[in-house]
Structure 1
């Protein structure tokens, strides 16, 4: 069994995830990633932090809120395995398909020529 080590500073996680350091702190604040603090009060993250952020960015593009993403990630172990990420992918795919179907329905309703304020949302 692997032991999770928290050795990566904010700057490394930001670079690996393709985000600004402020985004790393944002995702930590909202429970997407977890850090420990050093004796000098600096954040240190584990290996999965950058991956979690990249997945969260995809989920946000699908339309999920940070709170919804945190709920999906809540079931992930500290050191996720491929099958753990597979379950996250299944959740994101199901949510994306549901939201796509709803959007298509709204488009159909808008094209129907009726009053926009009467579309059920």
Structure 2
């Protein structure tokens, strides 16, 4: 059994993921990443935290909510391996394709010449 080491500070995760420290705390608050507290009440994150945030940012650009992203990440083991990330990628790609198809359908309806108020 692998023991996950929680050694990274908020600042380190922020720097590695390209977000502000406040964003790291936001992602933790919403369950995208997990922290443990030191005896001094400082947050410590594992090595996957920055990767999770970078993946979450991509998923947000596709339109997924923080809750949806946290739900997808909930299936990840504590120390995700490439195959685990592959399953996350498959899920995100399928969701992105479904959303793109729905957008194309809505766009076609808007371009159909029908009254916009009748499209709903």
Same fold (TM over 0.5): yes
Whole-Å separation in 2 of the counterparts to 1:89 and 1:26: 22
Whole-Å separation in 2 of the counterparts to 1:85 and 1:117: 42
Normalising by structure 1, report the TM-score: 0.96
The DSSP-based 3-state class of the residue aligned with 2:113 is: coil
Off by >4 Å, runs of 4+ in structure 1 = none
| Residue in 2 that maps onto 1:51 | 51
State the Cα distance separating 1:116 from its structure 2 match: 1.2
The answer to whether structure 1 residue 16 and structure 2 residue 22 are counterparts is no
State the Cα distance separating 1:3 from its structure 2 match: 2.3
Whole-Å separation in 2 of the counterparts to 1:119 and 1:42: 52
RMSD of aligned alpha carbons:
0.8
Normalising by structure 2, report the TM-score: 0.97
The DSSP-based 3-state class of the residue aligned with 1:36 is: strand
State the Cα distance separating 1:2 from its structure 2 match: 3.3
| Residue in 2 that maps onto 1:33 | 33
Deviation string 1:71-115 (CA, Å, 9 cap, x unpaired) is: 100100000000000000000000000000000011101111111
Give unmatched runs, 5+ long, in structure 2.
none
Aligned residue pairs total 120
The answer to whether structure 1 residue 2 and structure 2 residue 35 are counterparts is no
